[in-house]
Amino acid sequence: MSKMRDRVKAAARCDECGAIYSAWKLPDGSIRIIGRKDGCRCGATSFQILRD
């Protein structure tokens, strides 16, 4: 299967400021924020999925 089909839409929280974003959880476990290619508005790039 393609990588795009294996992704799961989720909510993710920024590890630095706590902002919540819609995100894609990819098969390799990485998290991609939807609509913000540079990460959080605070500048952080580390996120946690709110619920798996």
Q: How far apart are CA 4 and CA 50, in angstroms?
A: 21
The string of pLDDT tens digits covering residues 17-40 is: 999 999 999 999 999 999 998 999
**Residue 21: alpha-carbon gap to chain centroid:** 7
Q: Copy the structure tokens of residue 42.
A: 């605070």
Dihedral angle at the C-alpha atoms of 7, 29, 25, 52, nearest 10 degrees?
110
Q: How far apart are CA 24 and CA 46, in angstroms?
A: 13
pTM, two decimal places: 0.81
Give the chain's mean pLDDT.
91
pLDDT of residue 51: 81
Q: How many domains does the chain have?
A: 1
Q: What is the span of the domain harbouring residue 27?
A: 3-49
